[in-house]
Amino acid sequence: MTACVLGVDTSNYTTSLCVISAETGQLLAETRQLLPVDAGERGLRQSEALFFHVQHLPVLMSELMGRLQSQSIRPEWSAVGVSVRPRPFAASYMPVFHAGAAFAESFALAVGIPLTRTSHQEGHIAAAEYEHPMHGRPFVAVHISGGTCDVVLAVETPFGYRIQTIGTGSDLHVGQFVDRVGVALGLPFPAGPSLERLSLSWRPSQGSIELPAPVKGADMSFSGPLSAALRAIADGHPPEAIARAVEACVARAVSKSVEYALRQSARDVADVLIVGGVASNAAIRRAVTERVQHRLRGVRVCFAPAPFARDNALGVARIAFRRLSGGPETIGAK
């Protein structure tokens, strides 16, 4: 038998399960499934997303057990972690997280193990720390996805992270900007991976486009860039050039926000951790790293590994793992 921790995450876009070792915290197996979105649509209603999560969870659990069995792992469950809200604030709420919370609580009660409730954002950060540990130091975290555009000062605690918001999206989230341009270009939703592939086929002979990247403090705004991109589409500019312009716009905006956050933070903060689905884009990763490290010497810019920049349950499982030795939450705790 192998002592294991289960992680569960049910976001706006993906149903995710993950198993890690309860002794070492190492990843043992994971599985996830995107929620289906009809062509031309820009997302799902919360009721639709919750329904798909309920359908996906037992199928993914069966798949997860099969992956463990293929490694000759017989799990002895020690704990389960689940994201129950988007951000680690009491007012943060989305119905989709009820699906994962109900599944995880039922699992914990049936098996008789502790349940750790955390947030989707903390799960993203903990997943990135799997490869880029901050060793308890405070750091600037940037969460850029379809549902979030946050720049925060974060430090690890036994129960997740203590987070202080420095900046956010003043209108659209980064992922909304990417998705709306992508859908207007005829790409499937979520559009990030397809837009990245489209950008890779751009050639200088197709011309270049520059979109504005307005940032005030660490607050990013993407309604103006969206309008400019939609005008470029209507004017017949090559889709490849528009895709490349979107990536460059996001990279400039994120870089400006990070620079502001670092300058506002204490002098001992020199680490930046960027997470969320948009952070999986290689061109954005490269451009942000080069700009920030050129303008601010001694700063380390790290991105979540591309497979775990997108929605996943690895970080949620890791937070539950940390709590095994730090006073895990009881099943009935609020």
Q: Residues 73-113: pLDDT tens digits?
A: 999 999 999 999 999 998 999 999 999 999 999 999 999 99
Q: How far apart are CA 88 and CA 126, in angstroms?
A: 13
Q: How many residues in total does the chain contain?
A: 334
Helices (H), the chain: 46-70, 97-111, 120-129, 174-184, 192-200, 223-234, 239-264, 282-295, 306-309, 314-323
How many other C-beta atoms can be found within 10 angstroms of the C-beta atom of residue 130? 18
Residue 38: the pLDDT is 86
* CB of 109 closer than 8 Å to CB of 240: no
> Measured between alpha carbons, how far is residue 324 from residues 134, 220, 245 in Å?
20, 37, 46
Could you tell me the domains of the chain? 2-131+310-323 (3.30.420.40), 166-303 (3.30.420.40)
Residue 69: the pLDDT is 98
- pLDDT tens digits, 280-302: 999 999 999 999 999 999 999 99
* CB of 97 closer than 8 Å to CB of 127: no
Nearest alpha-carbon partner for 210 in 192, 223, 228:
228
Q: How far apart are CA 8 and CA 27, in angstroms?
A: 14
Helix, strand, coil percent values for the chain (each to nearest 5): 45, 25, 35
> Measured between alpha carbons, how far is residue 245 from residues 154, 225, 274, 286 in Å?
31, 10, 20, 15
| Positive or negative torsion for Cα 74, 79, 82, 88 | negative
Residue 333: the pLDDT is 33
Q: What is the CA radius of gyration of the chain?
A: 20
Question: How far apart are the two ends of the chain, measured CA to CA in Å?
Answer: 32
Report residues of the chain scoring pLDDT below 70.
266, 326-334
Residue 292: the pLDDT is 97
Strand partners, 168: 150
Tell me the backbone φ, ψ of residue 135, rounded to 5 degrees. Answer: 55, 40
Amino acid letter, 4: C
Residue 267: the pLDDT is 72
Residue 328: the pLDDT is 37
Residue 52: the pLDDT is 97
State pTM to two decimals: 0.93
- Look-up: residue for tokens 């460059």? 248
Q: How far apart are CA 197 and CA 258, in angstroms?
A: 26
